[in-house]
Amino acid sequence: MSGGSNDTQPFISLRGVHKSWRAGGTRIDVLRHIDLDIRAGTSTVIVGPSGSGKSTLVHVLALLTPIDSGEYLFNGSSVYAVNRWWDVGIRQSIGIVFQDGKLIQNLTALQNVCVPVSHRGIWPRQQKKLAKRALAQVGLLDRLDSYPNQLSGGELIRCAIARALVTEPVLILADEPTGTLDSETGSTISDLLFGVVKEQRTLVVVSHNPLLAERADRVVSIRDGILDEV
């Protein structure tokens, strides 16, 4: 899939996106008619207090949950055609970095990084080659055979970044990648995200970290499900 080099057309476009959860009998509106355009090759940091809907927005962008109403255009195409919100083709062109890495505990770092490519019809040998390259990009070549419980917090996130990079996605979504890290490690992760990761990719980061916000092309704020440009 193209990275969306058309300058006039946003790479990602949300139009009137509404999303709510049901907790018991109560409906909670998490995203309220959000309009958001993200251009290809840019970096966007989404900031906001806890419970404001940041992570839900990332999950919507990652196609991990359907929206109630509105439209999601990915590279100009609507991804919410009837019953197709889980479209694997689009999801496979998105890389996700979760807050705590979310590595699979019984797999080594190398095997974890292989996971995204293992579902794309690539032979295991090629998978390992790609995974090693991605791990080299984040400086984890020496931890190939380490299990997640043998990795530090920073290494976990770096491994998760490598996993997001391994398929060479056009869009990287990161949900609080430095949320659980000390400032020094957070700085390393920030360098990675805005260095290796950012290259020729569109980056969307949800974070409280001002360091990340400073380095982003654009910062948007979300509060009570409503988006504001900062």
Positions that interact with other proteins (CB under 8 A): 59, 62, 64-65, 86, 88, 91-92, 96, 98, 100, 102-104, 106-107, 115-116, 118-124, 163, 167
Kindly state the smallest distance separating residue 30's Cβ from other proteins, in Å: 12
Q: How many other CB atoms sit within 10 Å of the CB of residue 96?
A: 22
The residue among 102 and 223 lying less far from other proteins, judged by its C-beta, is: 102
- What would you report as the CA-atom Rg of the chain, rounded to the nearest whole angstrom? 17
Exposed/middle/buried for residue 79 (C-beta within 10 Å: 0-12, 13-18, 19+): buried
The residue among 172 and 216 lying less far from other proteins, judged by its C-beta, is: 172
The residue among 46 and 160 lying less far from other proteins, judged by its C-beta, is: 160
Kindly state the smallest distance separating residue 187's Cβ from other proteins, in Å: 26
Kindly state the smallest distance separating residue 122's Cβ from other proteins, in Å: 6
Kindly state the smallest distance separating residue 15's Cβ from other proteins, in Å: 23
Kindly state the smallest distance separating residue 195's Cβ from other proteins, in Å: 22
Kindly state the smallest distance separating residue 123's Cβ from other proteins, in Å: 5
For residue 218, give the amino acid letter: R
Structure tokens given for 111:
């095997």
The residue among 5 and 77 lying less far from other proteins, judged by its C-beta, is: 77
The residue among 38 and 160 lying less far from other proteins, judged by its C-beta, is: 160
Per-residue buried b or exposed e for 203-215, using 16+ beta carbons within 10 Å of the residue's own CB: bbbbbebebbbeb
The residue among 97 and 213 lying less far from other proteins, judged by its C-beta, is: 97
